[in-house]
């Protein structure tokens, strides 16, 4: 065998088709590109899922339903469940922590109390939301329904123990303010975040805000950061006084003359 006689096996090497070289390349009138269409042009590319122009699969398959990304999902707790909880534990002050410790909810649940069943016990309920029928049934037997999203597992767990009576008795004033708190956001210039700052500082009612000087409120806002320090609380006490006295028409007239809570 000589070196110059070496050659590939038959069929192992195939010459490339050189398309688009005219009649002389042996490809006929279409120069081996085929008849018309996108693939006969240079620069052809195909998008993923393209099916030659017909309706693609992802559009032929039907879709059902609608998912609202802003929907708030509540865990429903009915009055008959509250009555059973009272019969079992004897606890009259029921909040999210008590429900969690007794296995009714998980830590991340938002609880809405509904009106199914009969409630005979006088209980003070604190949950994220209440139905109108549930509020009516609770207040009918002398109880109270307060919107409160606090999940205090430690204090609520201690309520089940006999020694917890002293713990509950130490903070009667704070609990009372929670129940009787006013909506401070009705004051022009007070938003949800500022309302939380005031509540944390012990200002939870219109009367509290009316009795607090503008300088004291400014100190609270300044301690929370520069974003809050820019607010001017000069008229908040006057607005709170009208709200405390139930003078809503006069409050509206005053707020119409204000600009973001500040006198124009």
pLDDT digits (tens, 9 = 90+) for 10-31: 889 988 888 888 888 888 888 8
pLDDT digits (tens, 9 = 90+) for 52-84: 889 999 899 998 888 888 988 999 999 999 999
Q: Where are the domains of the chain?
A: 75-174, 184-263
CB burial of residue 184 (10 Å; 0-12, 13-18, 19+)? buried
- Residue 124 pLDDT level (bands cut at 50, 70, 90): very high
Class of the CATH-defined domain 75-174? alpha beta
Give the pLDDT score at 181.
Answer: 67
> Residue 78: which of 55, 57, 99, 54 has the closest Cα?
99
Give the pLDDT score at 178.
Answer: 41
pTM greater than the 0.75 cutoff: no
Q: Which residues contact 131 (CB under 8 A, 6 or more apart)?
A: 112, 113, 114, 115
């Amino acid at each position: 065998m000589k070196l110059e006689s070496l050659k590939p096996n038959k069929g192992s090497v195939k010459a490339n088709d050189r398309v688009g070289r005219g009649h002389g390349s042996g490809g006929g009138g279409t120069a081996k590109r085929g008849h018309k269409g996108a693939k006969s042009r240079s620069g052809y590319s195909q998008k993923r899922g393209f099916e030659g122009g017909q309706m693609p699969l992802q559009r032929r398959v039907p879709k059902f339903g609608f998912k609202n990304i802003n929907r708030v999902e509540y865990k429903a707790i009915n009055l008959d469940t509250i009555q059973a909880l009272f019969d079992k534990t004897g606890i009259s002050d029921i909040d999210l922590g008590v429900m969690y410790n007794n296995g009714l909810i998980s830590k991340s649940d938002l609880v809405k109390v509904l009106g199914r069943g009969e409630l005979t016990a006088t209980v003070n309920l604190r949950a994220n939301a209440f139905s109108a029928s549930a509020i009516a049934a609770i207040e009918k037997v002398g109880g109270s329904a307060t919107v409160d999203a606090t999940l205090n597992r430690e204090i609520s767990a201690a309520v089940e123990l006999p020694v917890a009576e002293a713990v509950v008795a130490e903070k009667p004033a704070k609990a009372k303010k929670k129940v009787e708190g006013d909506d401070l956001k009705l004051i022009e210039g007070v938003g949800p975040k500022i309302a939380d700052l005031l509540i944390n500082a012990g200002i939870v009612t219109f009367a509290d805000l009316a009795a607090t000087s503008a300088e004291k409120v400014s100190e609270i806002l300044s301690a929370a950061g520069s974003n809050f320090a820019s607010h001017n609380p000069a008229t908040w006490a006057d607005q709170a006084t009208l709200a405390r006295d139930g003078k809503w028409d006069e409050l509206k007239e005053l707020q119409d003359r204000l600009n973001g809570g500040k006198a124009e």
